[in-house]
Amino acid sequence: MDPQPPEPAPDAAAPLVIKILIAGGFGVGKTTLVGAVSDIQPLRTEARLSDRSLGVDDTSGVDQKSTTTVAMDFGRITLHDGLVLYLFGTPGQERFWFMWDELASGALGGVVLVDTRRLEECFPAIDYFERRRLPFIVAVNGFDGAAAHDAEKIRVALDIAPDIPIVQCDVRERSSGKHVLVTLVEHVLTLTTKPRRATGRSAVLATGRSGGCSPP
């Protein structure tokens, strides 16, 4: 009798893949964060700012920025065996907000990056996540020269619920960016174990945020 070939080893369990959005205002560090933590060469869709953008794109506070994301940034990071995050950085400028719904499809959570020197620029991202009941955390990117602020003072200024984590970070550092993502995953897992309810601005989002615009 001919020997039987050995049976192939069973496939390892497929990893759990989670889609995450990285949002925030123009020039807040979304592209940098995705690039710093990604295990692969990140996909970027950047275009150079030109004279045509004057009067259209608000570059106040980020005068040295020469490019802008026009579609998305994409990266991937394996947090540990069996858990992979797909990272989608959203365009920060208002004229590209129409793409947010497409990028948000299937996402389980989001990071709102904040520059405390231009706090109002993160409001549209917060409004967007809250209207869609998409779990999110706030990550304060510590720009050189920016004053440090207590997390609870930032919470009051942003008018967000007390259970939304606020973390300090330096998006240029992989370990710092990874901590942000771990915090988001832990927050999402916590929310799956308790009932969701409208809190803070979530209960009054029909009126929007103090005269500002937000993505659709």
Instruction: Report the distance separating Cα 32 and Cα 74, nearest Å.
Output: 11
- Reduced to 3 states (helix: H, G, I; strand: E, B; else coil), residue 126 is helix
Residue 212's SS3 state is coil
Question: Tokens in use for 130?
Answer: 């809250």
Helix axes 174-191, 30-37, angle to 10 degrees: 100
Mean pLDDT for the chain?
81
Quote the Cα angle for 147-37-31, to 5°. 65
Which residue bears the tokens 């930032």?
154
Task: Determine the Cα–Cα distance for residues 21 and 72; give it in Å rounded to an integer.
Answer: 10
Q: How many CA atoms lie within 13 A of 43 on its CB side?
A: 10
Give tens-digit pLDDT for 111-136.
999 999 999 999 999 999 999 999 99
Distance between CA atoms of 43 and 46, rounded to whole angstroms?
10
The answer on pLDDT for 107 being more than 80 is yes
At 44 the pLDDT is 79
145-171 pLDDT per residue, tens: 777 889 999 999 999 999 999 999 999
Q: How confident is the model at residue 213 (pLDDT cuts 50, 70, 90)?
A: low
The domains located in the chain, with CATH, are 16-55+64-207 (3.40.50.300)
Percentage of residues of the chain with pLDDT beyond 90 = 55
Q: Which residues contact 36 (CB under 8 A, 6 or more apart)?
A: 171, 172, 173, 174, 177
Gap between the Cα atoms of 112 and 116, Å rounded: 12
On whether the CB atoms of residues 127 and 152 are closer than 8 A, the answer is: no
Q: Is the pTM of this model over 0.85?
A: no
- On the question of pLDDT at 29 being above 50, the answer is yes
pLDDT of residue 71: 62
